[in-house]
Amino acid sequence: MSAAITDETLIQQALEGRQAAFATLVNRYERYAFTLALRMVKNREDAHEVAQDAFLRAFRYLPDFRGDAKFSTWLYKIVYSTSLNFLRKQNPEIQSLDDESRPVRLADHGTPDASYAMELSDRNAALQMAIGQLSSDDGAIITLFYLYEHTLEEICQITNLSMTNAKTKLCRARQRLRTIVERTPEIVGH
């Protein structure tokens, strides 16, 4: 029944103070927010915290949501910036996620998720792993474009990149992902 209710209606109800509307928004977007956060912070517990913070921030600033973009785009922008702030707290030297001289590497991240994913030994898990090996920015942009099927314009709104930069980043991320995929027998051998 809640699937028939549009985001705009839920936002209106939430602004009137109906807690059920907030809960519906969380249920509707929790997996999208968590997946995007996980692509960036590379750790499930941290992604949990980031996604939760992002939802709370979204609710706090809901009165400022003007509706000129989709709610999902606005929410993912908050998830993206919350993830970025989290990464900067972990590593204050980060100036840009795209700085290849200082790649974002988080200690002890990925190993528990890697062993979990490899146990499944199916193509999807291998693809998830391949995306997980990308940098935070590459993982985010690949997820937004190919998994969430956002347009480049929406990705620019989420990441604050120019159109040219977003296209360049996406092409580079795609190349890096294809390199990883070609080295992964579980994907290539399918």
* Nearest distance, CB of residue 44 and another protein, angstroms: 8
Residue that is written with structure tokens 């980031």 in the block: 50
Which residues contact another protein (rule: CB under 8 A)? 19, 22-23, 26-27, 30-32, 34-35, 38, 44, 47-48, 51-52, 55-56, 59-61, 63-64, 123-124, 127-128, 131, 142, 145-147, 149, 167, 170-171, 174-175, 178, 181
CB nearer another protein, residue 84 or residue 131: 131
Do 30 and 51 contact (CB within 8 A), yes or no?
yes
* Nearest distance, CB of residue 95 and another protein, angstroms: 28
Residue type, 183: R
CB nearer another protein, residue 90 or residue 128: 128
Q: How far apart, in whole angstroms, are the C-alpha atoms of residue 146 and residue 35?
A: 13
CB nearer another protein, residue 94 or residue 156: 156
CB nearer another protein, residue 151 or residue 160: 151
Distance of CA 95 to the CA centre of its chain: 19
Structure tokens at 42: 């590379």
Structure tokens at 38: 């996980």
* Nearest distance, CB of residue 38 and another protein, angstroms: 5
Q: How far apart, in whole angstroms, are the C-alpha atoms of residue 177 and residue 146?
A: 12
